Amino acid sequence: MLADFLATLEFSLSVTGPIFLILGLGVWLRRIGMLTDAFIEVGSRLVFNVTLPALLFISVSKTRLDTSANFPLIGFGLAATLLVWAGGGLVARFAVREPRDRGVVVQGIFRSNMAIIGLAYCVNAYGPTGLAAASLYVGLVTILFNVLSVVSLSASLHASQSLGRIVRSVALNPLIIGILLALPIAVSGLRLPGILVQAGEYFANLTLPLALLCTGAALDFRSLRHDPRDAVLGAVGKLLAVPLVFVLAAVALGFRGMDLGILLLMSSAPSAAASYVMVRAMGGNAALAANIVALTTVGSLFTTSAGIVVLKSMNLM
């Protein structure tokens, strides 16, 4: 019994431990001045616009959609995302005092950092197989994330966002472009030139370390000193309520093994850093959005580890 528990704990730490170390390294390098604001800005843009789309493109282009694409998994992710978005909106309506902040809290609850930390969790847990299974999931659920985020923030900020503008923001998302470009290759089974694959893999291999370093360096808890109530509400919803909804519903519907593991790891990832960018661009409470991202980024390492221990001990993942 003790040996099984220690083996489960070791597996859990093998998934979340490397993430914790690289985030911590980013914090330390920022503190000693080696990572600057300019580096974080440029590095984050490089990840979002170049290396992460390259990672998704390479992964999806190698996927045989007829045998590897898991559409029940993706369908469940889309439906569960809608469920937690609606639930978050209901909670925020009664629990968040300032109406303008409700959309910020809702977005912090349902929008996961799947493309960076979620994928890193899956790679550590399942290797290239997990990356291939999770990549298409990330791309399609990301589309829904963007649409629901605009709806929530527009409603709470009373901002008008036309359907055309929403479609344009989704269509120009580099992550979605990378996946859409890869889909014809995956469907046709076309083999890309070796030199192109090698160059793409260089970019892909750069993605997760650089993204995690920038995420760690960007963490800032100083603003939490001023009324952290709404930030804590968003963090609790993201770290506890959302994974519970995903996992319990998935278990009830028969998901097991790697599929259930991916759902746990994606849903327990912290709030997406892109949520801060969107709130700031739309004139919302950017400090609140940043606080939710900071709290969930650190807290996710512990709640995800606990979730892995529970599911592994029950032989479900």
CATH 1.20.1530.20 applies to domain 2-313? yes
User: What does residue 268 show for φ and ψ, rounded to 5 degrees?
Assistant: -95, 0
Sign of torsion, CA 135 72 238 223?
Answer: positive
pLDDT of residue 283: 79
pLDDT of residue 132: 82
Q: Which helix (H) or strand (E) holds 86?
A: helix 71-95
Domains of the chain, residue spans: 2-313
CA dist., res. 71 & res. 194, Å (int): 29
Going residue by residue through the chain (317 aa), what tens digit of pLDDT does each one get? 566 666 777 878 888 888 888 888 988 998 999 999 888 888 888 887 888 888 888 877 877 666 566 889 999 999 999 999 999 999 999 999 999 999 999 999 999 999 888 988 998 899 888 888 888 898 788 888 888 988 888 888 876 666 676 677 667 778 778 878 888 888 787 888 888 888 888 888 888 888 888 878 877 777 666 668 999 999 999 999 999 999 999 999 999 999 999 999 999 999 987 787 678 767 788 778 878 988 898 899 899 999 999 999 899 98
pLDDT of residue 225: 64
CA dist., res. 272 & res. 115, Å (int): 9
CA dist., res. 112 & res. 269, Å (int): 6
CA dist., res. 47 & res. 299, Å (int): 23
pLDDT of residue 74: 93
